[in-house]
Structure 1
């Protein structure tokens, strides 16, 4: 079976970043463990992957990230205490949040050499099959289906490589990675160009890359031999462009929900508000308190 015909079983989560924009909160706590309501941000992203049918979760970590591994493991002392206290609901929630035994892998990115390098660090675990890549800062919310589920459906139809995109105002395109496509209005459209933070007025479209990818394993060979790019880092976009120039197809999958960048303080605060407001147990009271504040 060719790599293109294989189904998407594995997802890579690059969680080695230092989280400097959230200091001092992230001095001793990984930024991915900051909570959106009552679940760490990384849990929301893993939940999206699980809902899309992902079976194996690959975390590319760094120093001081042990709490992420602990979060996705059983804690017998805590579970025993909850059981003794009759906290059945809490026990069920903990169990529901855990991947099955043997379905998580952790590997180290030993130097901060960029997203492309983080992806390359997962090469031996992913192996010779296409895989999903989910950036843990970007929460995709409110679409008709989970973002990654839509992408896997598109992959099953088209094969190749897929990137999630979403429209932004024309005057903000210089802030993002932007793709050009054959049909900007289509749900799935072949990508014709990729530009990282184009100069104002030069963007090929208003569709920005949202932090969800499905990539063929050939990307690992490209990354292994790739020279460092912007910021002295190994850039994923450079590797994707090299593959595209070599005739490998890339498709944009348009996400029609909202995206909250929890790597920024405003995005993180907005995510907490939105996810809190939709909760039946919290929403009414939170809405009333916000109304008083505003």
Structure 2
């Protein structure tokens, strides 16, 4: 059985689409119901056995680290007040053996560059996952990383999470070129970064989850400037495309990097919350234009 002990979280972006809310608060710390986005991502990784969480960050984003540090005073206060459930919710986020590492990306040079910053933390022949916390993917039964790990074990390949997207959104994503497909699995012959509708090889986009082994770092070239003047992870994947499969996951993705997607996530997860669901449904039925 494949063991995945490390996860990489590129979190250096400034979240300009959410200004002024993100002026001093990282976008990854924006809450969906009662947890920040980054905690959903960390908890997702925990489900597949990850114990080391590597944040590729920016020196101005310290509150991400602080969220995962012990707050003994708050914990003791909650226990004293008899709020044991709340006390448990802030203890050992990531598990009792969790190790959190922060790496300063320095200059933002693209997703490929951010992932490359984790190279020294990944051992030879080790598989690891990359999670973009902006993409909150919800599946009550089996999270997307659990699904991807099963496919990696079955096929012995690195895995890209895929989603069918509408034409008008194609230019926002890396889009794969499938040679053939078998159910939810796509055998790939290419990948294109943010193509136009006319140039897109399919409507299958790579979204927010990657399962790599260390060989990916051999293909991240700091001298190879790609689309939008950045070092793109799609260029690295393209160089070793035969080592990958695409997997169309089961679950619903919320693009929490957009305001509408973020609001949708709060509504959907609010409705999935037993404590909130009935009151929220009632309110939704009573909404009037403000």
Q: Select which of 146, 153, 158 maps to 1:156.
A: 153
Tell me, yes or no, if structure 1 residue 291 matches structure 2 residue 288: no
Match of 2:273? 279
Match of 1:180? 177
Q: 1:150 to 1:6 in 2, by over 3 A?
A: closer
- Stretch of structure 1 that moved more, 262-271 or 201-210: 201-210
* 8 Å Cα contact 1:143-1:258 kept in structure 2: no
Match of 1:47? 43
Q: Select which of 54, 58, 64 maps to 1:62.
A: 58
Give the drift of 1:224.
Answer: 4.4
* 8 Å Cα contact 1:143-1:255 kept in structure 2: no
Match of 1:89? 85
* 8 Å Cα contact 1:32-1:42 kept in structure 2: yes
Q: Select which of 242, 245, 265 maps to 1:251.
A: 245
- Distance in 2 (CA, whole Å) between partners of 1:267 and 1:51 is 24
Match of 1:131? 128
- Distance in 2 (CA, whole Å) between partners of 1:30 and 1:131 is 24
Give the drift of 1:94.
Answer: 1.5
Give the drift of 1:73.
Answer: 1.3
1:13 alignment partner, SS class: strand
Count residues in correspondence: 287
2:7 alignment partner, SS class: strand
- Distance in 1 (CA, whole Å) between partners of 2:172 and 2:218 is 29
Q: Which runs of 5+ in 1 are unaligned?
A: none
* 8 Å Cα contact 2:46-2:94 kept in structure 1: no
Moved over 6 A (4+): none
Tell me, yes or no, if structure 1 residue 73 matches structure 2 residue 73: no
Give the drift of 1:62.
Answer: 0.6
- Stretch of structure 1 that moved more, 101-110 or 258-267: 101-110
- Distance in 1 (CA, whole Å) between partners of 2:176 and 2:250 is 16
* 8 Å Cα contact 2:159-2:247 kept in structure 1: yes
* 8 Å Cα contact 2:79-2:87 kept in structure 1: yes
- Distance in 1 (CA, whole Å) between partners of 2:114 and 2:95 is 22
Match of 1:262? 256
CA deviation string 1:133-158 (max 9, x = no partner)? 11110011136511011111111111
- Distance in 2 (CA, whole Å) between partners of 1:156 and 1:215 is 12
Q: Which runs of 5+ in 2 are unaligned?
A: none
1:187-266 equivalent positions in 2, closer than 5 A:
187-244=184-241, 248-266=242-260
Relative to the length of structure 2, the TM-score reads 0.93
- Distance in 2 (CA, whole Å) between partners of 1:55 and 1:201 is 43
